Amino acid sequence: MLSQTVEYALRAVVALAEPDTAWTAHALAAKTQVPASYLSKVLQSLAKADLVLAQRGRNGGFILAKPTSAITVLEVVNAVEPIERIQTCPLGLAAHGVRLCSLHRKLDDAYAMVERAFATTTIASILAEPNPARPLCAQQEKGGSLNVLHAH
């Protein structure tokens, strides 16, 4: 339901949570499995939204502009492709302009619900979840709970 671009942006931000050093677009692309040339565009959007900082030149790359606890999923979504809320009647009916009809009200309520969920979810909270499968990591958490794949 969300666009591919949003998925890419979220992967990039999650990958950047490892704050060892600046990640080059190329290295990030490998880690996130996103086409490198396209990821560059996505990173530019994230930079414009002040979610990541770009550093050119040797040893350059991208880092998060804020701690993961200060970045919500919604911010990332909005940086690349904001959820299009229904503001006015899609049919252009004047009478519906101020107050949406019940059909579009219902749809927009669903969008609002998603926005709210994303607005209250930080990247930090996602990374803090006790889930054996860590985002972007092929390996199970080291020393973590048992591997459900091999437990039979």
Partner DNA sequence: ATAAAACTGGATATTCAGATCCAGATATGC
Partner DNA sequence: GCATATCTGGATCTGAATATCCAGTTTTAT
Binding residues for DNA (CB under 7 A): 3-5, 8, 23-26, 35-38, 40-41, 43-44, 47, 54-62, 81
Q: Which of 47, 54, 83, 124 binds its own copies (CB under 8 A)?
A: 83
> Rounded to 10 degrees, what is the CA torsion of 5, 11, 14, 17?
-100
Whether the CB-CB separation of 28 and 16 falls below 8 Å is answered with yes
35 versus 60: smaller Cβ distance to its own copies: 35
> Rounded to 10 degrees, what is the CA torsion of 71, 28, 145, 128?
-10
Our finding on whether 114 is near its own copies (CB under 8 A) is: yes
| Cα–Cα distance measured from residue 51 to residue 32, given in angstroms and rounded to the nearest whole number | 17
Amino acid at 151: A
Our finding on whether 94 is near its own copies (CB under 8 A) is: yes
* Count of beta carbons in the 10 Å neighbourhood of residue 113: 10
Q: Which helix (H) or strand (E) holds 109?
A: helix 102-119
Q: Which helix (H) or strand (E) holds 61?
A: strand 61-64
Our finding on whether 87 is near its own copies (CB under 8 A) is: no
Which partner, DNA, its own copies, none, binds residue 96 by CB below 5 to 8 Å per kind? its own copies
70 versus 117: smaller Cβ distance to its own copies: 117
Our finding on whether 146 is near its own copies (CB under 8 A) is: no
Our finding on whether 104 is near its own copies (CB under 8 A) is: yes
Q: Name the residues that contact its own copies, by CB under 8 A.
A: 1-2, 7, 10-11, 14, 32-33, 73, 83-84, 89-107, 109-111, 113-114, 117-118, 121, 126-127, 129, 131-140, 147-149
